[in-house]
Amino acid sequence: MSVVTLVVENVPPRLRGRLAIWLLEVRAGVYVGNVSRPVREMLWDQVQSLAETGNAVMAWGTNTESGFDFVTYGTNRRMPIDFDGLRLVRFSPEENNY
């Protein structure tokens, strides 16, 4: 079991309801809980199949150099990259629509 934090934006209410079955919604779109690996993977499958045009990030504690790992879904300015075995976040520049 490990602590999981899952943040969703612009997702359908049915996905938020499914997440609330397994995790506690501590703020709008921010879920936390202590779940097993199979449950964590099932929740991420739900995010990928139901998020539509929304976006999400899920982080959990694990035995890595940083002590955690994470995955993302959808379009966001923050994208994960691998840098010599470390998971980091790259920021994409904002688009100017002039």
Which tens digits make up the pLDDT trace of 28-80? Answer: 999 999 999 999 999 999 999 999 999 999 999 998 888 888 899 988 778 78
Question: Residue 22's pLDDT band (boundaries 50, 70, 90)?
Answer: very high
Farthest-apart Cα atoms in the chain, separation: 49
Give me the residue label for tokens 């520049």: 93
Return the C-alpha torsion angle 54, 4, 87, 85, nearest 10: -140
pLDDT at 90 over 90: no
Q: How far apart are CA 4 and CA 33, in angstroms?
A: 5
Mean pLDDT score across all residues of the chain: 90
Give the Cα separation of 55 and 11 in Å (integer): 7
* This prediction's pTM: 0.84
Residues in the chain: 98
